[in-house]
């Protein structure tokens, strides 16, 4: 198993031979009490793969962004470890809104502020995420746990993004013991509702017991981190035409469903 993971890490290093970062959109879920631990888990996974990671946290629980970020974003990036940096960005994407309601210009600003990173974890609520994402190849990551409210919130985020952006493939990271049978049922329920009502797919669902923060990362967690990168094109700056055409507030099609748990 260790040889296979080493081969994957070497492959990712070759993938990142170019200086362009790759985006991993993580949809915030205020109903997940351990969401911070799940974000730290992802940062740890990419560090183990030898990659430089910037966590851009625009989630609901983040402190207000410094006013300096609007002037020089690079000055607000905090180095947490040798391979992980952090940017508190609550409310910051909305400062980049264009007249179509798109905040995709924020992604351009992040790349300019941190040109040395390999991975940019973008943590934000679904409505804000929909304003920023313009690349259809991305695979958003949903967070959840065994609380029914967190599952409802995860599905609501999936529905919002599927309707506004056309992104139809998702992954799920759950905070719970991997052997818990309820976790399997929750993943199946999310997948079935996404397919039935939205034509979307949950490609994979991985569990991690956040109480075991010092435990070695599982092969499943590392594989999830790798798959999210492979689903992401390099973070090239969007063209002005693309930014002008992005209209995130317009649903692609009408869907009517309520997630029943």
So where are the chain's domains?
7-239
State yes or no: pLDDT of 245 exceeds 50.
Answer: no
Model pLDDT, residue 212: 83
- Length of the chain (residues): 261
Model pLDDT, residue 240: 39
Model pLDDT, residue 257: 32
Express each pLDDT in 36-90 by its tens digit. 999 999 999 999 999 999 999 999 888 767 778 777 899 999 999 999 999 999 9
Instruction: Determine what percent of the chain is predicted with pLDDT higher than 70.
Output: 81
Model pLDDT, residue 213: 74
- 145: phi then psi, degrees, rounded to nearest 5: -145, -160
Pairwise CA distance, residues 137 & 125, whole Å:
19
Average pLDDT for residues 159-185, to the nearest whole number? 95
Q: Please report which confidence band the pLDDT of residue 232 belongs to, taking 50, 70 and 90 as the band edges.
A: confident
CATH class of 7-239: alpha beta
Average pLDDT value for the chain: 84
Per mean pLDDT, which range of 12-21, 100-109, 120-129, 136-145 is the poorest?
12-21
Average pLDDT for residues 203-226, to the nearest whole number? 93
Model pLDDT, residue 259: 33
Average pLDDT for residues 212-234, to the nearest whole number? 89
Q: Please report which confidence band the pLDDT of residue 135 belongs to, taking 50, 70 and 90 as the band edges.
A: low
Average pLDDT for residues 11-31, to the nearest whole number? 76
Q: pTM of this prediction?
A: 0.83
Sort 9 into a burial class: Cβ within 10 Å, 0-12 / 13-18 / 19+.
middle
Of residues 76 and 214, the one with the higher pLDDT is: 76
């Amino acid at each position: 198993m260790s040889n296979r993971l080493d081969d994957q890490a070497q492959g990712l290093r070759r993938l990142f031979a170019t200086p362009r970062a790759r985006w991993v959109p993580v949809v915030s879920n205020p109903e997940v009490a351990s969401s911070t631990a799940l974000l730290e888990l992802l940062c740890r996974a990419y560090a183990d793969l030898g990659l430089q990671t910037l966590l851009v946290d625009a989630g609901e629980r983040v402190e207000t962004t410094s006013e300096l970020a609007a002037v020089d974003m690079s000055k607000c990036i905090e180095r947490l470890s040798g391979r992980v940096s952090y940017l508190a960005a609550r409310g910051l994407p909305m400062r980049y809104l264009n007249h179509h309601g798109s905040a995709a210009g924020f992604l351009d600003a992040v790349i300019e502020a941190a040109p040395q990173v390999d991975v940019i974890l973008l943590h934000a609520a679904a409505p804000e995420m929909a304003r920023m994402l313009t690349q259809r190849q991305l695979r958003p990551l949903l967070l959840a746990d065994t609380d029914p409210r967190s599952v409802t919130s995860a599905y609501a985020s999936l529905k919002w993004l599927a309707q506004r952006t056309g992104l139809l493939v998702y992954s799920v990271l759950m905070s719970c013991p991997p052997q818990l049978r309820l976790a399997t049922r929750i993943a199946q329920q999310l997948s079935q509702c996404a397919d039935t009502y939205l034509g979307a797919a949950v490609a994979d669902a991985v569990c991690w017991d956040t109480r075991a923060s010092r435990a070695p990362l599982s092969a499943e967690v590392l594989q999830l981190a790798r798959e999210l990168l492979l689903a992401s094109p390099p973070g090239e700056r969007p063209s002005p035409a693309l930014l002008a055409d992005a209209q995130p507030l317009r649903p692609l099609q009408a869907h009517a469903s309520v997630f029943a748990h």
